[in-house]
Amino acid sequence: MIVRLWWVGFLLSSLLSAQDSVVTHQRQTDACEQATTQAQLNACSAEQYQKTDERLNAVYQRLLGRLSTETSPNSSKDKSQTPNLEGATAKLKAAEAAWINYRDLHCEAAAQLYEGASIKPSMWSNCMRDVTEDRVREIKHAYENGDWKLE
């Protein structure tokens, strides 16, 4: 009985915290400011995730383009660095594939806590957005320097 009450309290606390998070993030865009139903909040969260995913893809493509330019035969850079850049490109692609798998599994697991609840799509989208924002920061931190800006 105590465990069941604890679990109900945990779920209610989680839902309230999640709703606070959704309300905070809804102020970020006009569509979110107008949201009054869970369906609208779900759509807003999905839109925010989509925008963040587009940002990640743009940063990632710029990085790949930069690495490709640096390794091209026409590059004026030191040719002795070409094998290192090619290896970096291959490892970046492998890391990105592994990260996508991690992101998807992580957010599916987090959203699973809300199975059957109308807030589940928002929780999944919010997780995907947050993890994707973290990935943008990781890539920029690892690859940007004085000469290389990805945004």
The top-level CATH class assigned to 2-143 is mainly alpha
Tell me if 21 sits within 8 A of 125, measured CB to CB. Answer: no
Count of other CB atoms within 10 angstroms of residue 132: 23
Model confidence pLDDT, tens digit, residues 62-118: 999 998 887 555 555 555 556 688 889 999 999 999 999 999 999 999 999 999 999
- The secondary structure element, H or E, covering residue 127 is helix 120-143
pTM of the entire predicted model: 0.72
